[in-house]
């Protein structure tokens, strides 16, 4: 029987590959597929394929840390400001890139504490968060965010929930999306909340 660690790592690799592939498709459809963007997406996919190959072969997988980085700064006065919170660094940055291409301004945090610190600096139009994360988990972040910014809607995007079951969460949680998800599911969720590109305050 496959170990839980193996299944988790394999699912994470496949999730990042799906995000990269969908981003390629969306960029091509919208006419934004530049050589540099193509190279970045292909590098991401090949890196995850190498990781999967090592996992299947039982080889030791080098854990090269990915340095967290914020997406390119945007004019927050002209676009809704979204906070993405996920400890899967590559997946978070690729989702941020997708939302920026859609016209949103995006901040990225990789654990609940980092996200909560950002919430003291900005009022967000929406927060998209995972549940299981280091330092502060998503549930604690949601509770604290409600006290700090009670009007901010939350979208839970996690592999530890079932899509559509928002009734098990605080009232501030507007939608629940299970992993793996596509970038378009997040932008569609924002649209359902009437958080549209170009409508930032």
Segment 124-169, tens digit of pLDDT: 999 999 998 888 999 999 999 999 988 899 999 887 665 555 556 6
Contact (Cβ atoms closer than 8 angstroms) between residue 80 and residue 190: yes
Residue with tokens 């592939």: 21
Q: At what angle do helices 4-29 and 183-192 cross, to 10 degrees?
A: 70
How far apart are the C-alpha atoms of 24 and 66, rounded to whole Å? 21
Segment 56-81, tens digit of pLDDT: 665 544 544 444 444 444 445 578 99
Contact (Cβ atoms closer than 8 angstroms) between residue 199 and residue 135: no
What is 81-192's CATH topology?
Answer: Rossmann fold (3.40.50)
* 13 token code pair: 């690799």
Task: List Cβ<8 Å contacts ≥24 apart for 166-170.
Answer: 169/139, 169/142, 170/142, 170/143, 170/146
Task: Report whether pLDDT(113) > 90.
Answer: yes
Domains of the chain, by residue range, sit at 4-57, 81-192
């Amino acid at each position: 029987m496959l170990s839980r660690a193996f299944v988790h790592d394999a699912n994470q690799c496949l999730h990042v590959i799906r995000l990269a592939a969908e981003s390629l498709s969306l960029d091509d459809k919208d006419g934004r597929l530049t050589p540099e963007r193509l190279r970045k997406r292909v590098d991401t996919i090949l890196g995850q394929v190498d990781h999967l190959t090592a996992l299947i072969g039982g080889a030791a997988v080098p854990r090269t840390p990915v340095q967290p980085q914020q997406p390119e700064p945007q004019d927050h006065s002209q676009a809704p400001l979204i906070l993405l919170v996920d400890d899967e660094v590559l997946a978070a940055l690729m989702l941020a890139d997708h939302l920026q291409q859609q016209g949103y301004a995006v901040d990225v945090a990789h654990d609940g504490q980092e996200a909560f610190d950002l919430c003291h600096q900005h009022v967000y139009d929406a927060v998209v968060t995972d549940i299981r994360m280091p330092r502060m988990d998503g549930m604690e972040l949601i509770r604290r965010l409600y006290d700090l910014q009670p009007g901010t809607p939350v979208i839970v995007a996690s592999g530890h929930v079932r899509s559509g079951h928002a009734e098990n969460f605080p009232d501030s949680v507007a939608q629940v999306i299970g992993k793996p998800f596509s970038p378009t599911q997040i932008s569609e969720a924002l649209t359902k909340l009437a958080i549209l590109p170009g409508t930032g305050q």
